[in-house]
Structure 1
Amino acid sequence: MEKTQQTVINGLSVDVEDWFQVGAFENVIDRDDWDDLSLRVEDNVLRILDMFAEAEVKATFFTLGWVAQRHGSLMRRIVDAGHELASHGYDHARVFNFDRQEFGQDIAKAQKILEDASGVKITGYRAPSFSIDQRTPWAYEELAAQGYRYSSSVAPIAHDHYGWREAPRFAFSPLRGSDLVEIPVTTAILGGKRVAAGGGGFFRVLPYAFSRWAIRQVNREENRPAVFYFHPWEIDPDQPRVPGAPIKSRLRHYTGLKQMSAKLRGLIGEFAWGRMDEVAEREALLAHATSDEWGE
């Protein structure tokens, strides 16, 4: 499939966590049991690296510190392939469940583990489950203080698990006087309302044509980059099934797994993609302008 003729480079990202570390199962799988479960994340990330190499695209891998502790060589493989390694926190705890001190400790711990494993500076962050919102204004102060240059931690929609509906749809500066930039995951406008269009379960469940339409809207009509994400477990239809999980969680997690790899190849081939740190650098000037308009 030929890439769409365009100049906008979109942000391609992978949230690196294993199948048992997701928000859908946080109430049925105890963190203390994680090391006793089948670890599948490394094999899945290697498949993703092969997919990206075939398509000749670079991406950002937002990775849990917990994963990096156990798969140090994988972190080096990611970096050696020319991709960005960034932080997804230590063990997928949501930001709004921390106080400021706990959050600072979490991002510092994850940053050190990732840097020690990879040998590169970690300057990007994505909150687990897009859990930076109006309840956590101090989160950006902690990120800036610890040397992070950008965050991609906001879903500017209403959702039963997360969402900051009032936040800007595109990059903004969350701290006056700071270079830190926030790049929300992509939404599109349908019938005058914001709809999630940045990947994950929405990409697996909805027809591919919806994602094509949404990214074209953002690129062509608004001349802005889309931010797309997915998880390694989403290309793994043979992963274990979780007994006792609520039916809503099972539907969200398992629907569309068999078709995911093919859909990803289609998306990667049709649009232009790059690393999130590169998107952040290009979006920085517009981000500062947006923060002034937003009434920081």
Structure 2
Amino acid sequence: MFLTFDVEPDAPPYQSSSYRGVEEGLPWILHFLEELDVKATFFVTGTVAERYPDLVEEIVERGHELGSHGLDHSRLDKMSREEALDNIVESLRILRSFYPVRSFRAPNLQLPEDLVPRLAENGVVVDSSIAAYKPGHPKAPVWVNGVLRVPATVTSSTIRLPARLARRMTLPESRSFHVLFYHPWEFTRVKRRPLYRPDVWARTGGYARRMLEEVIRLALDRGLRFELVGNAPRLCG
């Protein structure tokens, strides 16, 4: 089982100039995981790493994995392939000054297929830019052009559903392979505004924090073990 967080500006594109998630949500996450001795993979944008180097260093110092979430959370499928590759390479350059990054997740889980071999050329071994809950996406890890593609298995806002449903969907009894992913901004209170989709603001802040604590404790009670995404090639074959 893998626990992952996408560390980015708040609720992009709605609040992309705000960083409350990094400043308030991320320290809370790190403290909570330390309390339970749980390790996670943090996919961080290059610009967040440049803006908050102390927090990125803390992620690494606490034994978590650092992965790339692109340079600035721009959609890679909305730019030319040359621009997208430059974006990825620059993010890796920045993040590798903190950690030997080998894992990647594209913003919005949107990575053009022809960029997968380019990830391998740049030392990326694992990509988690696909979603098992989307039609046509793999439901389990699959090797593609030298990169192990590890799908996220539930969308992040699942943690903010009503409690019973959140528990059942986030930790299904039958699933042996599972990748959870969240955003630090979800654990701060996002204001409801007319242009925001409900899944952006609904039950953010305290409710999301309580549910994450409950889900992680429930997983540990069931004897589940959290692994780093970078270890997926060894664990998944």
TM-score (norm 1): 0.72
Are the counterparts in 2 of residues 61 and 84 from structure 1 also a CA contact under 8 Å? yes
The residue aligned with 1:146 is 122
Q: Distance in 2 between matches of 1:45 and 1:96?
A: 27
What pairs up with 1:100-119 in 2 under 5 angstroms? 100-116=81-97, 118=98
Task: Sort the Cα spacing of 1:230 and 1:216 in 2 relative to 1 into closer, same or farther, 3 A.
Answer: closer
The residue aligned with 1:12 is 3
For the residue of structure 2 that corresponds to 1:13, the secondary structure is strand
Q: Does residue 1:183 correspond to 2:130, yes or no?
A: no
The residue aligned with 1:200 is 156
Higher relative contact order (CA 8 A, sep 6+): 1
The residue aligned with 1:229 is 181
Q: Does residue 1:121 correspond to 2:76, yes or no?
A: no
Q: Distance in 1 between matches of 2:43 and 2:61?
A: 16
Long gaps (5+) in structure 2? none
Q: Distance in 1 between matches of 2:166 and 2:20?
A: 30
Structure 1 position 225, deviation (Å)? 1.9
Structure 1 position 62, deviation (Å)? 0.4
The residue aligned with 1:77 is 58
For the residue of structure 2 that corresponds to 1:274, the secondary structure is coil
Q: Does residue 1:254 correspond to 2:207, yes or no?
A: no
Deviation by residue 1:210-262 (Cα, 9 ceiling, x = unmatched): 34334554xx535x32100111111111x5x476x52xx34121101130000
The residue aligned with 1:22 is 12
Long gaps (5+) in structure 1? 1-9, 159-164, 187-197, 286-296
Q: Does residue 1:98 correspond to 2:79, yes or no?
A: yes
Task: Sort the Cα spacing of 1:129 and 1:38 in 2 relative to 1 into closer, same or farther, 3 A.
Answer: closer
For the residue of structure 2 that corresponds to 1:85, the secondary structure is strand
Are the counterparts in 2 of residues 79 and 85 from structure 1 also a CA contact under 8 Å? yes
Task: Sort the Cα spacing of 1:38 and 1:53 in 2 relative to 1 into closer, same or farther, 3 A.
Answer: closer
The residue aligned with 2:109 is 130
Q: Distance in 2 between matches of 1:38 and 1:92?
A: 13
- The structure number with the bigger radius of gyration is 1
For the residue of structure 1 that corresponds to 2:43, the secondary structure is strand
Q: Does residue 1:171 correspond to 2:141, yes or no?
A: yes
Q: Does residue 1:268 correspond to 2:216, yes or no?
A: yes
Structure 1 position 102, deviation (Å)? 1.4
For the residue of structure 1 that corresponds to 2:142, the secondary structure is coil
Q: Distance in 2 between matches of 1:263 and 1:40?
A: 17
Q: Distance in 2 between matches of 1:72 and 1:207?
A: 36
Q: Distance in 2 between matches of 1:142 and 1:55?
A: 37
